[in-house]
A and B are shown apart, each in its own frame.
Chain A
Amino acid sequence: MELSGAQIVIQSLKDEGVEYIFGYPGGAVLHLYDAIFQQDDVKHILVRHEQGATHAADGYARATGKPGVVLVTSGPGATNAVTGIATAYMDSIPLVVISGQVSLPVIGSDAFQEVDMVGITRPCVKHNFLVKDVSQLAETIKKAFHVATTGRPGPVVVDIPKDITDPRIKVPYKYPKKVVMRSYNPATTGHKGQIKKAVDLLLAAERPIIYSGGGVVLGEASKELIELAKTLGFPVTNTLMGLGAYPATDPQFVGMLGMHGTYEANMAMHESDVILAIGARFDDRVTGKLDEFCPYAKIIHIDVDPASISKTVRVDVPIVGGVKPVLDQMLEMLAESKKKPSKKALEAWWKQIDQWRSVHCLEFDRESRLIKPQYVIEQLYEVTKGDAYVTSDVGQHQMWAAQYYPFDKPRRWINSGGLGTMGFGLPAAIGVKLAFPDSEVACVTGDASIQMCIQELSTALQYKTPIKIINLNNSYMGMVRQWQEFSYESRYSHSYMDTIPEFVKLAEAYGHVGIRVTKPEEVRPALEQAFALKDRTVFLDILTDRTENVYPMIEAGKGHHDMKLRVALGTSTDRELA
């Protein structure tokens, strides 16, 4: 079969089983768009800004586990995609981003809409390619998918000069079934000796904790994690990226850890004698002050990426390997072992944990006459029966969603954890809804974040992706305001927006339903109404308590045991801001 470069790209995507391309046309990709026009197998989703394309593809990837595919033009199309690429990179999300490039003969001449995409994206991709020969195109695309989806996943950019896609130049096409790269062989199973060491340590532990991260979600190892936790009877904490990998409603779950983690999770980390870290990377938002991190613990770390091991925290038993195969090996060894974890020690440990739990660190003022954002999330959980896909933007609302919506399944909680990208939530929700049209998809956002990619409301209308936008509107960049309150004597420098649009009208202008909610008693009915409108995107503009803060909080530079808790319940409720 002889195909042009443009046809090869589209045919390769078909052969790769790609359902959707998220993209935006432009000069350098016109040949590609012409090839898209002439087929129906791969559906193209036209976004309104290339950042939206990357986030939508990213949301699709996080929800499905399949790689997200993006197509953008050269120059500004490519640079607009960079934020989304970096977002995916920080959270290890598989994306294949195809960018147009100016024709080979003019590369380097500062041609119209030319940027060095390979150079610009180098620090925020797993790998990237510049295609210089049409005969290499199919193999390069195969390599891109291979690299993006194996080992520690990540985004891969394929930069394609316009002349490579020239419809007049046809070459034989064959999509490689598999690809071998001598320089790329990601780890699979773990080293037996190391796993044995880990098992011995776990069985001797008296105050153990399992600290699991996004790697468990990405590695499809939720089942194995649950089995391990049940076998051992140990408490489990999840990172922000790991939420859902262990069911949050399970009694062994002690909540999220880290900066806005629960009191019990952070205290248990601090006092533990053995930590089993699985697919987590000891991020600074998790560890707090490194010198004070888990002073009594021996640490076991399972990760597919050796560079994640002992990067910030020195570990005692490193295990390089895929989370799922290593957990399988570990479970096998545990089953064969005659030793069992000490019942007596675990009983005492759980008693201690229950004491920490009795602090009820997530309690908030339920009598307030203002709408508490935490209450909104609780109601969202109830209305969706805990089974929705929840995307979020970045800030206070993100933390409240993580704290008050207990996720019981992996891939349900979709947020930008590593890069912290405002504007992520709405396009990500569109990507999720395309993947799962019959599931409920909610985007929890705030008045600042939502405005960063609000143009994608138009995309949601065009492709009939009825999502529910839960806008926790406090007229502030809430998290910035919170830090300014705590660390800058309440000097709210530019964290306030006094010209916030009327979101209801805005939603209506985009062809959606807008509902404004101003009283606590209206929250539940509004949510029910929104989710009853099955085929409409609904924008719930919920005016929440403007002074509410996220608790608990480990302030920057402090240890796990040094948490800021809500001072006295109810006292912050009616504080008015000057």
Chain B
Amino acid sequence: MRHIISILIENESGALSRVAGLFSARGYNIESLTVAPTEDPSLSRMTLVTRGSENVIEQITKQLNKLIDVVKLIDLAESAHIERELMLVKIRTSEHSRGEIRNVAEIFRGKIIDVTPTSYVVEMTGPSEKLDAFVATIDPDSIIEVVRSGPTGISRGEKGLHL
């Protein structure tokens, strides 16, 4: 099953490689990983998407907790949560395709943030499936590049992951 593990970790050099190294050393898979400092610059927030059986996920969370740099973590998939991913897509445009791409982007609540005579860059956020759906509507031959941040998430309600 897919799990989204959200981690508060000391914002120190090497902390990321401890997490990544743990996954490769123990044969766990990482689908995506995003990381950035929080409002407290001494802490980073990491969102890690992984898949595995209940036993594997239990070991993953235990092993992550065992890392000295990890302050706290939760498995977002265990309760109500919101998930968002940022995507930037560079699309080759022609005179007759420009209007169509603009329309589709608008339907998906995307924004065109860079325009040249032959290309658009579309910015879009949302659940990963929505981004997949948008990409699927675009003619694959016209896609120059797709850049995705990987999902990041937050739990619903008042409770939160903090010190």
Give me the interface of A with B, judged by CB distance under 8 Å. Answer: 118-119, 122-123, 126-127, 130, 147, 181-184, 305-307, 310-311, 314
* Cα–Cα, bound, A307→B67 (Å): 11
A118 CB contact (under 8 Å) in B14, B55, B163? B14
* Cα–Cα, bound, A123→B67 (Å): 11
The answer to whether B55 and A183 have CB atoms under 8 Å apart is no
* Cα–Cα, bound, A112→B88 (Å): 43
A306 CB contact (under 8 Å) in B10, B62, B71? B62
Q: Which A residue's beta carbon lies closest to that of B66?
A: A307
* Cα–Cα, bound, A183→B63 (Å): 14
- Of the listed stretches B17-25, B90-98, B118-126, chain A binds B17-25
* Cα–Cα, bound, A249→B17 (Å): 48
* Cα–Cα, bound, A182→B42 (Å): 12
Kindly supply a per-residue 1/0 record for chain B positions 41-80, scoring 1 wherever the CB is within 8 Å of any chain A CB and 0 otherwise: 0000000000000010011001101101111000000000
The answer to whether B21 and A310 have CB atoms under 8 Å apart is no
Q: State whether A307 and B62 are in contact (beta carbons under 8 Å apart), knowing that A127-B68, A130-B14, A182-B163 are contacts in the complex.
A: yes
A122 CB contact (under 8 Å) in B18, B58, B70, B163? B18
Min CB gap B78→A, angstroms? 17
Q: State whether A307 and B71 are in contact (beta carbons under 8 Å apart), knowing that A122-B18, A130-B14, A182-B163 are contacts in the complex.
A: no
Chain A residues in 8 Å Cβ range of B10:
183
The answer to whether A122 and B66 have CB atoms under 8 Å apart is no
Min CB gap B74→A, angstroms? 15
The answer to whether B163 and A181 have CB atoms under 8 Å apart is no
Apart from A183-B70, A183-B71, A306-B62, what are 18 other A-B pairs with CB-CB below 8 Å?
Answer: A119-B14, A122-B14, A122-B18, A122-B21, A123-B21, A123-B25, A130-B13, A147-B68, A181-B68, A182-B71, A182-B163, A183-B10, A183-B69, A184-B68, A306-B65, A306-B66, A307-B65, A307-B66
* Cα–Cα, bound, A200→B99 (Å): 73
* Cα–Cα, bound, A184→B13 (Å): 18
6 contacts between A and B (CB under 8 A): A118-B14, A183-B10, A183-B70, A307-B59, A307-B66, A314-B55
B17 CB contact (under 8 Å) in A122, A310, A314? A122
Chain A residues in 8 Å Cβ range of B9:
183
Chain B residues in 8 Å Cβ range of A130:
13-14
Min CB gap B86→A, angstroms? 28
Residue of A118, A123, A147, A183 with most chain B CB atoms under a 10 A cut-off: A183
Q: State whether A310 and B14 are in contact (beta carbons under 8 Å apart), knowing that A126-B68, A183-B69 are contacts in the complex.
A: no
Chain A residues in 8 Å Cβ range of B63:
307
Chain B residues in 8 Å Cβ range of A307:
59, 62-63, 65-66
Q: Which 9 pairs show the lowest CB-CB distances between chains A and B?
A: A307-B62, A127-B68, A183-B71, A123-B25, A184-B68, A307-B66, A306-B62, A122-B21, A307-B63
* Cα–Cα, bound, A122→B25 (Å): 10
* Cα–Cα, bound, A435→B138 (Å): 73
Q: Which A residue's beta carbon lies closest to that of B14?
A: A118
Min CB gap A311→B, angstroms? 6
* Cα–Cα, bound, A10→B12 (Å): 26
* Cα–Cα, bound, A292→B66 (Å): 30
Chain A residues in 8 Å Cβ range of B71:
182-183
Chain B residues in 8 Å Cβ range of A305:
66
Q: Which A residue's beta carbon lies closest to that of B10?
A: A183
Chain B residues in 8 Å Cβ range of A181:
68
Q: Which B residue's beta carbon lies closest to that of A124?
A: B25
* Cα–Cα, bound, A310→B57 (Å): 12
Q: State whether A310 and B58 are in contact (beta carbons under 8 Å apart), knowing that A123-B25, A182-B163 are contacts in the complex.
A: yes
Chain A residues in 8 Å Cβ range of B163:
182
Q: Which A residue's beta carbon lies closest to that of B70?
A: A183
Chain A residues in 8 Å Cβ range of B58:
310
Min CB gap B163→A, angstroms? 7
* Cα–Cα, bound, A311→B59 (Å): 7
* Cα–Cα, bound, A244→B131 (Å): 61
* Cα–Cα, bound, A119→B59 (Å): 23
The answer to whether A183 and B68 have CB atoms under 8 Å apart is yes
Min CB gap B137→A, angstroms? 43
* Cα–Cα, bound, A159→B63 (Å): 24
Min CB gap A318→B, angstroms? 11
Min CB gap A335→B, angstroms? 32
Chain B residues in 8 Å Cβ range of A123:
21, 25
Q: Which B residue's beta carbon lies closest to that of A156?
A: B68
* Cα–Cα, bound, A314→B13 (Å): 36
Q: Which A residue's beta carbon lies closest to that of B8?
A: A183
Chain A residues in 8 Å Cβ range of B69:
183
Chain B residues in 8 Å Cβ range of A119:
14, 17
Q: Which B residue's beta carbon lies closest to that of A182?
A: B71
Q: Which B residue's beta carbon lies closest to that of A151?
A: B66
Chain B residues in 8 Å Cβ range of A182:
71, 163
* Cα–Cα, bound, A183→B70 (Å): 6
Chain B residues in 8 Å Cβ range of A147:
68
Min CB gap B12→A, angstroms? 9
Chain B residues in 8 Å Cβ range of A310:
55, 58
* Cα–Cα, bound, A31→B18 (Å): 30
Q: Which A residue's beta carbon lies closest to that of B63?
A: A307
Residue of B59, B68, B71 with most chain A CB atoms under a 10 A cut-off: B68
Q: Which A residue's beta carbon lies closest to that of B24?
A: A123
Kindly supply a per-residue 1/0 record for chain B positions 127-138, scoring 1 wherever the CB is within 8 Å of any chain A CB and 0 otherwise: 000000000000
Q: Which of B82-120 contact A (CB under 8 A)?
A: none
Min CB gap B68→A, angstroms? 4
* Cα–Cα, bound, A126→B65 (Å): 12
* Cα–Cα, bound, A310→B25 (Å): 19
* Cα–Cα, bound, A147→B66 (Å): 12
Min CB gap A133→B, angstroms? 12
* Cα–Cα, bound, A127→B21 (Å): 13
* Cα–Cα, bound, A123→B23 (Å): 11
* Cα–Cα, bound, A446→B114 (Å): 72
Q: Which A residue's beta carbon lies closest to that of B13?
A: A130
Residue of A126, A127, A184, A310 with most chain B CB atoms under a 10 A cut-off: A184
Q: Which A residue's beta carbon lies closest to that of B64?
A: A307
* Cα–Cα, bound, A307→B14 (Å): 22
Min CB gap B161→A, angstroms? 13
